[in-house]
Structure formats: structure tokens, C-alpha cells
């Protein structure tokens, strides 16, 4: 699995994308991809059938149909490679279990006659997502099984009061692709029972909740007015001027 962008750089890119205009916020219902072009820093979102891809920290078991004496576990290192009997270091990161089985079968043809290798993922060390921005408990969130974007936000303690819930962003880095994909989701609509286009997440995805304009205005008021006034006050304004 490719390493996600640093959260600080990602937040800056997402903020620019959100400020680009209302077109970036319009996202059709899942599973249809968004109609608008993605901002230049991102690739268009592509929905695909979910298949787990091996990542750093995962443990796999090798099963040899003809040579069971070299069966055994292998741990994928931080560089995405594992050390295998007879052939040494081999990169598995970004491959599904089926793809890894095919790749290792080919690799073992150089040292074995008619090898038939099956790869089974026995431990998921890289199954995590990243939730940042205006949530109560931002950070890395381990996942087991399928998790939706709204479930991930709940796992992060829910939205902060300063969150902009109609433009929540999901970032996905596909193996071998230089740029991440981006999708904007209206979670506010989802929470009201509408179809805001919830997204099923994959390990390594980043969920970013931007700050609302109301929150920025509130910070401005507190910094420049409320915090400078040594006493509390209130006033009312009616439409008829009385």
C-alpha cells in the first residue's frame, strides 16, 4: 500500500480544492463517480470492487502444493518486501493475495520445478485509516473489515463544533499512481436521511473534515472583540427598528 500524503500537506491541498468553487462540492450518489473534474493536485475518483492489498506489517503464510517443506510465515517489512526461502527479498506491497500468489509462483520458477504457491494473509498490520481536520479525536484509526466514511468520523469522536459537514473529503492513494484520488461527500445530507454519497473506505484512506466559515467568523469575533472587552454585554436588533 502506498504511504498517504502527510496530513499537513493534504490539508493544504484540500483547502485549496474546496475554495476552488461550488463545483468541487457536488458529488453524485455512491457508487457513481463525481461528474466534475478533480482539482489539478488530485486524480478523478474511481469506484472499484474492494480487494485488500498487502501492506507493510502484514503477515502472510506461504503454501506450496508440491514443496510443503518450505511452507511458512513471512512478515512484510516497512519497505513493502518480505524475505522468502530460496529466493530472498521480494516486494508484495500493493498486491492482492491472488496477485501475490501468481507473482511468487513465477518467482519460484527460477529455483523450483513447477512451483504452485498460494499466499494467505494471516495478520493485517497495515489496516488503518487516517481521520483529520475538525473532528474531536483526529489520528490513525485501526479498522477491521469494511468501514464507511461516516463510521470513521464516529470512531474519531464525531464532528467538532467547527466542522463543515457538507464538504468532507476522502483521499485515496492507489498503488503505483503518483497522485491521490479525491472525493467530496455531503455528510450533513447523509445524517438527515438523504443520499450524500457515503464512501466505503480502504486501508490507507485519509478522511479530512474542513473548518466551517461560521467557525472562522466566531474565532475572529472572539479575537478582535469579545476577548478584548472586560465585561459581558448583549444587544438585540429587530426588523422594525424598535
pLDDT at 232: 43
Express each pLDDT in 28-83 by its tens digit: 333 443 434 455 678 888 877 778 889 889 999 999 998 899 999 999 999 999 99
Q: Could you tell me which residues come within 8 angstroms of residue 159 by beta carbon, excluding any fewer than 6 positions away?
A: 134, 135, 136, 153, 165, 209
What 3-state class would DSSP assign to 97? helix
Averaged over 188-196, what is the pLDDT?
78
pLDDT at 28: 38
pLDDT at 43: 82
pLDDT at 74: 96
CB 143 within 8 A of CB 200: no
Pick the more confident residue, 69 or 27.
Answer: 69
For residues 193 and 45, give the distance between their C-alpha atoms in angstroms, rounded to a whole number: 24
pLDDT at 60: 96
- pLDDT-derived band at 85 (thresholds 50, 70, 90) equals very high
For residues 9 and 142, give the distance between their C-alpha atoms in angstroms, rounded to a whole number: 22
Show the domains of the chain with their CATH numbers. 7-49+127-218 (3.10.560.10), 59-123 (3.30.1950.10)
The DSSP symbol for 135 reads B
pTM above 0.95, yes or no: no
CB 222 within 8 A of CB 162: no
Angle at 137 between CA 136 and CA 143, to 5 degrees: 130
- DSSP per-residue codes, 14-33: HHHHHHT-GGGG--PSTTSP
pLDDT exceeding 90 applies to what percent of the chain? 42
Angle at 12 between CA 6 and CA 17, to 5 degrees: 120
pLDDT at 215: 61
Of 77, 84, 78, 86, nearest to 101 by C-alpha is: 84
Say if residue 237's pLDDT is above 50: no
Class of residue 46 by CB neighbours under 10 A (exposed 0-12, middle 13-18, buried 19+): exposed
- pLDDT-derived band at 193 (thresholds 50, 70, 90) equals confident
pLDDT at 9: 56
- pLDDT-derived band at 7 (thresholds 50, 70, 90) equals low
Averaged over 199-217, what is the pLDDT?
83
- pLDDT-derived band at 179 (thresholds 50, 70, 90) equals confident
pLDDT at 69: 92
Express each pLDDT in 125-156 by its tens digit: 878 899 999 999 999 999 887 899 999 999 99
Amino acid at each position: 500500500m502506498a504511504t498517504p500524503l502527510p496530513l499537513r500537506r493534504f490539508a493544504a491541498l484540500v483547502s485549496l480544492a474546496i475554495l476552488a468553487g461550488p463545483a468541487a462540492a457536488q458529488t453524485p450518489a455512491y457508487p457513481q463517480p463525481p461528474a466534475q473534474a478533480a482539482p489539478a493536485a488530485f486524480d478523478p475518483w474511481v469506484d472499484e470492487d474492494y480487494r485488500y492489498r498487502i501492506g507493510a506489517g502484514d503477515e502472510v503464510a506461504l503454501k506450496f502444493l508440491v514443496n510443503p517443506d518450505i511452507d511458512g510465515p513471512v512478515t512484510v517489512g516497512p519497505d513493502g518486501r518480505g524475505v522468502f526461502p530460496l529466493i530472498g527479498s521480494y516486494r508484495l506491497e500493493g498486491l492482492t493475495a491472488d496477485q501475490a500468489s501468481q507473482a511468487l509462483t513465477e518467482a519460484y520458477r527460477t529455483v523450483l520445478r513447477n512451483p504452485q504457491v498460494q499466499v494467505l494473509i494471516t495478520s493485517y498490520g497495515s489496516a488503518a485509516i487516517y481521520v483529520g481536520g475538525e473532528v474531536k479525536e483526529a489520528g490513525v484509526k485501526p479498522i477491521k473489515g469494511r468501514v464507511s466514511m461516516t463510521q470513521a468520523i464516529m470512531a474519531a469522536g464525531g464532528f467538532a463544533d467547527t466542522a463543515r459537514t457538507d464538504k468532507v473529503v476522502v483521499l485515496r492513494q492507489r498503488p503505483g499512481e503518483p497522485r491521490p484520488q479525491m472525493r467530496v461527500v455531503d455528510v450533513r445530507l447523509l445524517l438527515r436521511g438523504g443520499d450524500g454519497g457515503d464512501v466505503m473506505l480502504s486501508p490507507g484512506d485519509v478522511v479530512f473534515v474542513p473548518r466551517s466559515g461560521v467557525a472562522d467568523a466566531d474565532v475572529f469575533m472572539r479575537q478582535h472583540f469579545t476577548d478584548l472587552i472586560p465585561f459581558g454585554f448583549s444587544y438585540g436588533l429587530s426588523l422594525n427598528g424598535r
